[in-house]
Amino acid sequence: MRRTPTPEDDNHAHAERLHRAGEVVWGRSRDHQQSATIADLFAEAGLDHDPELLRAYYDFWEPHTLTDPEVRPMWEELRAAGIRVGVLSNTIWPRAWHVGFFERDGVYDLVDGDVYTSEVPWTKPSPLAFRAAMEAVGVDDPAACVYVGDRLFDDVWGARQAGMRAIHVPHSTIPASQVGHTEGEPDATITSLAELPAVVRALDGR
């Protein structure tokens, strides 16, 4: 006797389709620095972009969005030293989600400029993505910028190709499907965000 499908079956099927679509979307980012949105993800998965499914998607990821508690004091120290704070994120999520997470965690007031690739045509490691971040914080010279990230391809190699210095924070396990063709050589590596202000000062010779 065949079992009657349940809503849980649909959820598992939708999750699998979104996972497969995510591999395609992030492959375009890795290989062509082509940005995408959640709408693109759902279209690739062949799913309607309906509110209930979108809410389930959001609820799945929301517990993984908590800001590191070292971020606020680190950003406060940087800004006290006259250093502007910018955010550049490879993401398919809309700006409102990211800003909402930062506001929820009480750090968005310390951001001088932020760029999310869901709202521009390019993703890291394209120099154009880094240029957009520079414009967001009002800086013209890439040599005056230090980019901090957890990915040796997107963040470190990308920043160095854009003319910036780069600091690696190896906090994440990068999925094999998202590892790029090159591992950049960082100017420095840190294991805690609390170390960042001192490292930036050292790179600047302060």
pLDDT at 195: 97
Task: Choose among 149, 98, 153, 148: nearest CA to 125.
Answer: 153
Q: Output DSSP code: residue 9.
A: H
* CA distance linking residue 158 with residue 181, whole number of Å: 11
- Evaluate whether residue 31 is within a structural domain: yes
Query: Model's pTM, two decimal places?
Result: 0.89
49 vs 113 pLDDT, higher one: 113
- Evaluate whether residue 2 is within a structural domain: no
pLDDT at 7: 46
Q: Does pLDDT of 178 surpass 90?
A: no
Token pair belonging to 14: 């939708």
Domain enclosing residue 54, as ranges: 7-63
- Evaluate whether residue 1 is within a structural domain: no
Other C-beta atoms closer than 10 Å to the C-beta of 36 total 22
Same domain, 59 and 72: no
Rg value, the chain, Cα: 19
Q: How many domains does the chain have?
A: 2
Mean pLDDT of the chain, nearest integer? 92
Task: Tell me the mean pLDDT in the region 22-37.
Answer: 94
Last residue within a domain, chosen from 63, 79, 101: 63
Same domain, 82 and 179: yes
Task: List, in sequence order, the alpha helices (H) in 81-126.
Answer: 95-104
**Please, which pLDDT band fits residue 10 given cuts at 50, 70 and 90?**
low
Where does residue 125 fall: left (phi above 0), alpha (psi -120 to 50 degrees), or beta otherwise?
alpha
